[in-house]
Amino acid sequence: MFRVTRKEEIFYDQFVETAELTCKAAEKLDDLINNYNVNELEQKISAIEDVEHDCDQSIHDIMQQLNKSFITPIDREDINQIAKEIDNITDDIEATAQRFKMFNVKEMTEDAKVLSRLIVVCTIELKNVMAEMKNMKTSKTLIKRIIEVNRLENEGDDAFRVAIAKLFANGMDAVEVIKWKEIYEYLENTLDACEDVANIVEGVVMKNV
């Protein structure tokens, strides 16, 4: 059997670096939402775009490393899938931010703030999951962290349903309902993407431990 060397374990480090970018993007989105100012919107969206581009480059680096690696610490298809799903998180964050400008949003809602805060916490927990992957055979916290990501996503589902219910209960203008429904959906999709990564990692653990 081939032995995985430190060189091949670089994928774990790359996963952590990419997850750190999702945390950065989440924090910038949270700042945009919690300190909402129409006059600062373009600048804050641009900052999120920059992080999203950095994440794209990080994913590209992982794929390049995968293409030239003869031995990998986990299945090649799992590396590919984890990388793509992490990228989806940052893509969803950037897409959410863009919609505040596209929809000419004037004021923020408390429900958006709740969902945004969950995204921040969930991306941090996901980064911790990535950091524990290299120790999956001995880690006492990896599965607990995966479960916590799942719990946060479930909490996000509840917050999403509450937010949607308010849209249709408060007699809001129909155009505003359409705008906010889509924004909430993108926020919730971001949490779903976090859970997707955690679920893939859980499958990897089951195959390798």
Q: What is the pLDDT, as a whole number, of residue 3?
A: 45
DSSP 134: T
Q: Tell me, what CATH number does 115's domain have? A: 1.20.58.220
Q: What is the pLDDT, as a whole number, of residue 33?
A: 98
Q: What is the pLDDT, as a whole number, of residue 1?
A: 39
Q: With respect to residue 100, please indicate whether it lies within any of the assigned structural domains.
A: yes
Range of the domain at 123: 10-208
Domain count, the chain: 1
- Model confidence over 135-181: pLDDT tens digits? 888 889 999 999 999 999 999 999 999 999 999 987 778 999 999 99
Q: What is the pLDDT, as a whole number, of residue 55?
A: 97
Q: Which segments in the chain show pLDDT lower than 50?
A: 1-5
How does 43-63 read in b/e, with b if 16+ C-beta sit within 10 Å?
ebbebbeebbebbeebbeebe
Cα-based angle 192, 195, 196 (whole degrees, multiple of 5): 85
Q: With respect to residue 154, please indicate whether it lies within any of the assigned structural domains.
A: yes
CB-side neighbour CA atoms (13 Å) of 78? 18
Quote the longest CA-to-CA distance of the chain: 66
Q: With respect to residue 62, please indicate whether it lies within any of the assigned structural domains.
A: yes
Report the candidate in 82, 85, 130, 101 with the shortest Cα–Cα distance to residue 36.
Answer: 101
Q: What is the pLDDT, as a whole number, of residue 56?
A: 96
Q: With respect to residue 56, please indicate whether it lies within any of the assigned structural domains.
A: yes
